[in-house]
């Protein structure tokens, strides 16, 4: 299975931005601009409190819904947390796990990320597993080691079969929200590394696995990134808050 047979995916990660009116406006503009109407799959990942409103607004459209995080636990006394069952119930199909901001600012380690990945799948949510190296790690030539450590932690605990219904996002930490983007060649190198690791375990799953790039993707650089053989779309932060820009990125994934 080659790149052409993998359906491109563009996911907007709104992070902690926007009130209800902003959410409604962004979604309204995306629908007007026809985002999600093509071959590429388009999803938005609003803050938890907007999920139900956005789900309603998306009803009847082909834009999907994802969450930005999930609790590793099933249910119970976990004040402030949101379970995978709740996300599924409100209409999410995807959930981001292991985003570098969760890892760096909220102390999430590989072990917790694995548990979130497993919790998501238990409720038929597709995890978007984020992996990525920091600037210091890249300078030290540790990119490969870091990416494989993050990926292997999930592979070891969840098993290769879990990747048949998962997405991986390569997000170099130094490129997130910084305006610095990995070059298409830098991205391709790491995407090939990720797919190669999966291929060592199962070549059918590796051929169908979608690997997204994230880190300062904009309308101006999306096409060249998405053209790389192992880049199957993007996880978009800042640019996903601007409907026109995000719609252009979605269009770039069609080609």
d(CA 33, CA 248): 9
Q: CB within 8 A of 79, min separation 6: which ones?
A: none
The residue annotated as part of the active site, out of 137, 171, 191, 245, is 171
* Residue 99 annotated in active site: yes
Least distance (Å) between residue 15 CB and ligand PGA: 7
d(CA 171, CA 29): 27
Q: Which is nearer to ligand PGA, 36 or 132 (CB)?
A: 132
Of the candidates 162, 60, 152, the one whose C-alpha atom is nearest the C-alpha of residue 119 is: 162
Does 131 bind ligand PGA (CB under 6 A)? Our answer is no
Q: How many residues bind ligand PGA (CB under 6 A)?
A: 13
Q: Which is nearer to ligand PGA, 64 or 214 (CB)?
A: 214
* Residue 199 annotated in active site: no
Q: What is the DSSP string of 174-211?
A: GGTTTS----HHHHHHHHHHHHHHHHHH-HHHHHH-EE
List the structure tokens of 37. 């109407």
Show the site string, 203-242: x = touches ligand PGA by CB under 6 A, - = not: -----------xxxx-----------------xxxxx---
Residue with the CB atom nearest ligand PGA in the bound state: 237
Could you list the residues that contact ligand PGA (CB under 6 A)? 13, 171, 176-177, 214-217, 235-239
Q: What residues are annotated to the active site?
A: 99, 171
């Amino acid at each position: 299975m080659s790149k052409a047979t993998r359906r491109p995916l563009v996911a907007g990660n709104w992070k902690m931005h926007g009130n209800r009116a902003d959410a409604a406006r962004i979604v309204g503009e995306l629908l007007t601009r026809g985002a999600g109407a093509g071959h590429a799959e388009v999803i938005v990942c609003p803050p938890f409190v907007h999920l139900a409103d956005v789900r309603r607004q998306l009803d009847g459209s082909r834009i999907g819904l994802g969450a930005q995080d999930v609790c590793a636990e099933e249910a119970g006394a976990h004040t402030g947390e949101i379970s995978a069952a709740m996300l599924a119930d409100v209409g999410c199909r995807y959930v981001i796990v292991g985003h570098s901001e969760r890892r760096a600012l909220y102390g999430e380690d590989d072990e917790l990320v694995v548990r979130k990945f497993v919790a998501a799948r238990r409720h038929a949510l597709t995890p978007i597993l984020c992996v990525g190296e920091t600037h210091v790690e890249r300078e030290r030539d540790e990119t490969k080691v870091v990416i494989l450590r993050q990926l292997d932690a999930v592979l070891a605990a969840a098993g290769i079969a879990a990747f048949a219904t998962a997405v991986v996002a390569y997000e170099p930490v130094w490129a997130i929200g910084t305006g610095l983007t990995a070059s298409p060649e830098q991205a391709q190198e790491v995407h090939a590394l990720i797919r190669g690791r999966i291929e060592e375990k199962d070549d059918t799953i590796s051929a169908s696995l979608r690997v997204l790039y994230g880190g300062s993707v904009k309308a101006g650089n999306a096409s060249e990134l998405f053209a790389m053989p192992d880049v199957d779309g993007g996880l978009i932060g800042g640019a996903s808050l601007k409907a026109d820009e995000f719609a252009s990125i979605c269009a770039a994934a069609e080609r």
